[in-house]
Chains A and B, each alone.
Chain A
Amino acid sequence: MIEISQVSRTYRKPGEPVVQALNDVSLSVAAGEFVAVLGPSGSGKSTLMNVLGLLDRPDSGEYRLDGKATRDLSAREMAGLRNRVIGFVFQSYHLLPRTTAIENVQLPMLYSKRSDYRQRSEAALAAVGLTDRRNHFASELSGGQQQRVAIARAIVNEPSLLLADEPTGNLDGAAAGEIVDLFEAQNAKGTTVILITHDEKVASAARRVIRIRSGAIESDSGALQ
């Protein structure tokens, strides 16, 4: 599913020290894996997710997604892959304000040309158990509910890769547990899940744990055989 080799990413901002966010990282993730990436803040795990999610390009190194090199993709092709192949879940949910739950779920389908968007979005919302909140505005939902809407949005196009950046970071234990359960359910259906977290308990749900520090992989519990 994912193969990166010797990927580096450096941020340079005028007047600030150069940040080596990723330093020569190599990693491969097979289809259907559930991987947790653990690391302290500033370790480069968000940069890793941005690179894997085709939101950012590495300065050097190779990234192959589904066996295809991504280096020469145009911005439009990358947008297409983000739309169809990848689903994102963020720590702060990023739901649209004054927009209903179901409309938030439909957002990715605005940028694709599927005619069955109604059924698919209803199904995705049902999968996270929020059908009864479909017409609530995001601001009327609890944090856990908002994140579940965000997950429904991430899975609505049935991506093969789910990327989550600290999805439980803003949630209490119970709500966090529900979110992790949803990722496990998606993974059980064959979706590759990469979950970035600094919470060991959340990471324990994953079958593989990668620890990252100062832009480099510190340890890797190894891919499933």
Chain B
Amino acid sequence: MNREIFLRTLLARLTRFKGRALLMGLGIIVSVLATVLVSSLSGTIRATFDGFIGRMYPDDGISLFAGANFLGGGLGRDNLRFKDLEALVAALPAIVAWDPMAGAGRRDIKVGDRNTRTNVVGGSEQYANVRRQSVSDGAFLTADEVAGRSRVALVGQTTARALFGNTSPVGTTLFIDNVPYRVKGVLEPVGMSPHGDDLDDVIVLPYTVVLDSIRKVDFVQGAAFRVRDPGESEAVAGQIASILRQRHDIRDGQPDDFSTHTPRQMREMVGKTFGTLNLFVVLICAAAFVASAIVLLTVMLATIRQRTAEIGLRKAVGASTEDIRDQVVAEVVLVAAAGCAVGVLLAYPLMAVIGPLLASKFGFTGASVSLSAVTIAAAAAIATGLLGALWPAMRAAALNPVDALRRG
């Protein structure tokens, strides 16, 4: 075939039969748009989760939660004593730093005539080191303040803004359940959790204050450990478990009344969750493309029925069976490619709307159209075009020119 005429007539057909081209391409446009958006967003969400997991569960960290439930709570939730933690640290030299988890729940906070309800947690002087969150203003807790049950507080960014506006709260006093605390510092911002919780809406007190003065209990909700070498964390987690089972008199065959989590486990868990999610994404996108292929096929079959005489004529003036087949395939694939281009182009402005929304509502920052998503969608669109073209192309190519001309 003459390539120049071929391409020119192909493009002319697309522009002169706009309605039909749009009808054929609509499915592809929607499928590509959905695929690009969903897989880009799932990438963004994954990155946010990975960032969160990386921060909450750093490579050299181990988390211990009290209670039989996954991530704490349930049977034995009040069975993890501070003494247990001290025994673990004494027995395991691989642990270089640790910080207990001692939450006081949501409490009423007051400063002058401003008030808020905020999550109050306890920490030690090791909090900054173990949890990798220090202060951006003022100073962190000291060992003396922790040991001496000092009424000092560190305030998260959101809480600080709610209670103090834009002025530095360091040195001022805030009231938790009407008990005064001196504000020592403002915590560095960490943003939102993937569940949409604002992790900067928090107040950190010495854990001794939380346990002894506020909650008046001697059990902790867990602890975060930091080990010498990230390679050790699995082994140390095992040792933590065996020591705790011994201390808690748990017989063989009985379940733990605590759980340990290493970064590897957490990553595996997130990976598994996203694996399921991705499978759904793939299935839904695939279903959209199959539907698009059926649309292409149906419209093209109808078109060929309409164009029977034209195909007969083309054969009369010298088109071979292969020429006709190639023309039909090229036409459908061109529509698919154009639909794909439109879908991708629509994805950008839509993402510009969705991105900030996700960031403000759920903390999924940095949402953007990913190149790999575009590549996958484009490949799927072309494959859909080929799939939808196959049958009509063979039907058209097989037409007998004499019959075709007579029917026109």
A interface, CB within 8 angstroms of B: 50, 53, 55-56, 75-76, 79-80, 82-84, 88, 90, 92, 94, 96, 98-99, 103, 106-114, 117, 153, 157
- Report the Cα distance A53→B315, complex, angstroms: 11
Q: Return the contact of A94 from the options B309, B319, B320, B321 (Cβ within 8 A).
A: B309
Known: A76-B322, A106-B5. 19 other contacts (CB 8 A): A53-B316, A75-B321, A79-B315, A79-B323, A83-B317, A83-B319, A88-B317, A92-B408, A94-B310, A94-B316, A94-B405, A98-B16, A99-B12, A109-B5, A110-B1, A111-B314, A111-B318, A112-B2, A113-B1
Q: Is B129 an interface residue (CB 8 A)?
A: no
* Cβ–Cβ contact A88 & B310, under 8 A: no
- Report the Cα distance A110→B318, complex, angstroms: 9
* Cβ–Cβ contact B402 & A108, under 8 A: no
Which chain B residue shows the least CB distance to A81? B318
Distance between B326 CB and nearest chain A CB, rounded to angstroms: 11
- Report the Cα distance A98→B20, complex, angstroms: 13
Q: Is B6 an interface residue (CB 8 A)?
A: yes
- Report the Cα distance A56→B316, complex, angstroms: 10
* Cβ–Cβ contact A75 & B320, under 8 A: yes
The CB with the most chain B CB atoms within 10 A, among A92, A109, A111, is that of A111
The CB with the most chain A CB atoms within 10 A, among B6, B312, B316, B408, is that of B316
Q: Is B304 an interface residue (CB 8 A)?
A: no
Interface size on B, residues (CB 8 A): 27
Q: List 9 A-B pairs, minimum CB-CB distance, nearest first.
A: A83-B318, A79-B320, A108-B317, A111-B318, A94-B313, A110-B5, A98-B16, A76-B320, A82-B318
A84 contact set on B, CB distance < 8 A: 318
Residue pairs across A and B with CB atoms within 8 Å: the count is 82
B interface, CB within 8 angstroms of A: 1-2, 4-6, 9, 12, 16-17, 309-310, 312-323, 401-402, 405, 408
A-B contact pairs, 10 of them (CB 8 A): A53-B316, A75-B321, A79-B321, A82-B318, A103-B12, A107-B314, A110-B1, A110-B5, A111-B2, A111-B317
Distance between A16 CB and nearest chain B CB, rounded to angstroms: 14
